[in-house]
Structure 1
């Protein structure tokens, strides 16, 4: 059996069965202070970390990441340990248990906290928290699929655990958990994710536990927005009998349900969720017992949604044709972008041809990522052979090539490679903003070039449909700080590398589109009300008739040719 040479970043204090986790600093200067602070402590490859239970020591390096290491065996040979999880997030289940226990203790409550292992799942994948209200199951990874139909258990999802849009719409919201590194510890953050809303994050102390389950300030806002309804208009009259009151309450419930469906349909169309729109159209068509005005709204919404679905079918066919051509031409980046768009417009009844095109595209992307992973290994090996005192500007071109190749490799890279890339970025000064250069004084007409803020040019609903080539955040996920961590912090704005392709594609479409004709002026059309012709004002004293304004807008929308001089429209 070969020894696992991945670097160990976490340990437990005191003994092999300890539940007190510890995170080792990555930098040498921080490790010196860490050693002084824990000079009387012992570090162990904890059993609850999936470790072997042996004692660990710290390894200090100035040219690579510091880490824990096992003591050699009695024969001087390296110790063999079968521990799988070794990175920064490998002790997160212990931090979650400690934080949850302190949270309940501060509220004078008790809770049973255990590391569940259903179907042989690895310890650390799940944390079950059972209180007097209900049970929370924290999914820190994707080893066990969340169960949404268990009324007694509420899933809380880690950053890497996906949730489909249908579940978000049906449940209104789901909770997520994130752990941020603070020195040699990890701090728990709770997020609330809702359909068509950004995830809002809160400190654990701001959350509460109710009969409904875990609650955050965002939950209260979502529930108010979903359940509030306008008060019915009151009209004087004689008192009604009880059955009439019950019938009126039932009618209000039906009206409220109809408005909820209309709002959900609008939300689903905003994010182009074809499957959800199709399902909601069927549900709306079954609604009965509403007012004539509401029934007309429902019918119009369904008709418009079905026209939109037909358009999406044509869009999907065009995307698939482009995707097939991109695979044939070997344009990997375009294949990756188009495949993301095709998956967003997924439908349950794909044809055999569509299945073939999508399958070949997925195989192409996977093959390209595997090749990129091999190139990353080769580039790292080349960098290790360079002199250690090589200047940062000499390193920069090779490290930039490494970063670009790592983006192509995506999630196939292991944690060790990610940490190594982060170290080389630091050595090449690529993780710091470029220093401002001194320039000659400029005239008032000239202004220094400023980097455009791309996140202000692309709406969230557009870039959330794509993946990020820099931090490898997938579709529907926020960009994260690409510092090599397994559980990095979420960025406030997406990376420019995620936004630039969208802007480039938009500019290309604008260049290829014919220039629209100028809009029609109001007095270029004949007024339907007073019959005044072109260049003649309406007979009113308050400006043109509304119908004349609407006709000018309609002619502009239809791009109707403008009239010849002297002609009327």
Structure 2
């Protein structure tokens, strides 16, 4: 498993279990002031951030953003941390707790806070706030679906979807977002209602009432929903309407409601009632007919979109494209297809759900097998083999779904063991340059096609091709050995004849004493080779050792 190269933007102050979040400035000019302000503080990859609990340092750059970084391990290699979220929003749950606690204390109210992890979701997805007579649950992402019938009142992050039916039934829902201000995050509370834009307020503008969390927008929404409908009066005109005209106005309102709630069933029902309504004034009849034509065209468009959506789901299941199945199912569940589903649509959804369940079960079964294999390794096992097995295990856990507490604990244990495994250098193997360096690396590319190839038969100046199997005729990346061997032998003879000996060594011309990779093979570290390998190449160059 390679180290996670994503930049760490948040940490906690004082210790691994601290709840004091901190965000690092991105610009170098701001980082200098940040360092002076916190010269007596220590920064940590906090456990409540999902981190490893080790100390961090700050990295200053002028050509890219500044960030936190782990100190190197005892062997000098980069530290491997399993922290999954590292961006500026990775400590938002700690900022929510700090802001809510200060806000409630200012009002003489104390509350309990809990970073719950239902079904093993990552820490920070949900924050529970227990008030004296009420409970709020803050959903900062989509990992946990809101439960509108539970004892707690959901407060949704900006990425958490909510359907129109819920907005209509509940009158409104609350949202939360965090905005960066310097090295802190500021909490804003929003109120969203059906057919209304979300209104945002500072936390100090909000209150806790008998209805729960309340904003200035809530008061206006409640007042508007509770007030009796106003009657329209025009001076000098008689305000009497026939029963049919009153019904016509109601049908047009229902058409508008059906389109706003994306309910094709309701729209079709209203269109039938419009067609059957008689005795309407000519002016209203024209408006009714226009509304019916528009509604029928909209129903046809929505029905086609719905048909395409379920067809995409069926195709994704048939092609076993797990990511596409999840995306389309999420689109369906988010309310794209409101109203009752047909039996065929329900069957398609059930098939997709069964497919995802089978995929998750297969991944979990493979993960259990990997866990069992690793646990059976003897205590004195070769650290390099154990490292390979544990990396395979941790990679298998990626995308395996909800792992549960038991598997999470085992993975955390093996991840910790991996960080503390001793890796002694592998014994160096005798180095014979001419045997270790591939033939195509011993001569320049310009010499590769100076002779015809005796194996695949191509002429001089042409590249070698695959001479058998399913890929016959495809151009090879390197020439055949039989074509290169006489070229290399001829060049070696010329070098010996003229006394030309190559003494410049590259790092990959020698085996690596750290990870045991042979000459010509890349080191196990990402990016550059191990320093010991580069040092060995410089020593051979300094000793004028010949390189053929």
**Rg: which structure is higher?**
2
Taking structure 2 as the reference length, the TM-score comes to 0.49
TM-score w.r.t. length of structure 1:
0.47
